[in-house]
Amino acid sequence: MSTYYSQGVRRRTVVNGSLGLLATVLAGSVAFRFTDLGPVREDSPEEVGTTDAAVDPATTRTPNGWPVLEAGGTRTVEAAGRSLMLRPGPAGLVLAAFVRRFHSEVEPVDRGTLDDWAYARRAVRGASTVWSEHAAGTAVDLNATTHVRGRSGTFSRAGERSVRRLLDDFDDVVGWGADFDTPDEMHFEIAVGPGSKRLERLARQFA
Ligand SMILES: [Zn+2]
């Protein structure tokens, strides 16, 4: 990965903790990086590496079929002690409900660092012409510093069982990054497209 923009800097600072900070200090740009330790909740740390400028402007949908949102097109939802920028409508409703249940049934989301993200207008890491589901406000990353991208087994056995039970309860409308080719256990997304009957049925429960 050669191209970072501001989120990349934040990611390294958050994930690598003091080591990253040390590197930052050595790099001699302390003031900028320190201010960057503030809330970064709308940034997903695992899909950085390409700028949205690199995304083909003709492609305005994510792989799951969701239109990409401009900044300001999201709705901020309070869930599990976090403010999450989500897609308005059924997808956002369902994701917010999922986050709340994850928080109460799997593990707390509001502990420690602000490492939980939703909307971010950018491409999938390593795929400069593919929009991330985060760009549509239909994905969240939870406890990102614990459930690091690229690693399997970041949950306990019991934790993983709880996640699977939850995915069942959500009728597989919510997908889990643990099942991706490159595991991404922090990541949950609306796995169906707009107009999905299952999504709409589920959303009616939370409206
Ligand atoms: Zn993600």
Distance 40 CA to ligand 1 centre (A): 14
Quote the ligand 1 centre to 196 CA distance (angstroms).
21
113-136 pLDDT per residue, tens:
888 999 998 888 777 788 999 999
The Å distance, Cα 133 to ligand 1 centre, comes to 8
DSSP labels for the chain?
Answer: -----HHHHHHHHHHHHHHHHHHHHHHT-HHHHHHTTS--TT--GGG-SS-GGGS-TT--B-TTSPBPPPTT-SEEEEETTEEEEE-TTHHHHHHHHHHHHHHHHT--SSSSS---B-----EETTEEEEE-GGGGT-EEE-STTTS-TT-S--S-HHHHHHHHHHHHHTTT-EEEGGGSSS--TTEEEE-S-TT-HHHHHHHHHH-
Average pLDDT, the chain: 78
The predicted model gives 80-96 an average pLDDT of 95
* C-alpha 185 to ligand 1 mean position (Å): 9
Distance from Cα 134 to the centre of ligand 1, integer Å = 6
Percent of the chain with pLDDT over 90: 58
User: Which residues surround the ion ligand 1 when the cut-off is CB under 5 Å?
Assistant: 44, 141, 187
Q: How far is the CA of 87 from the centre of ligand 1 (A)?
A: 14
Band of pLDDT at residue 58, cut at 50, 70 and 90:
low
pLDDT tens digits along 137-175:
999 999 999 999 999 999 999 999 999 999 999 999 999
For the chain, give the percent of residues with pLDDT over 70. 72
Span from the CA of 28 to the centroid of ligand 1 (angstroms): 30
What residue segments make up the domains of the chain, in order of their start? 6-206
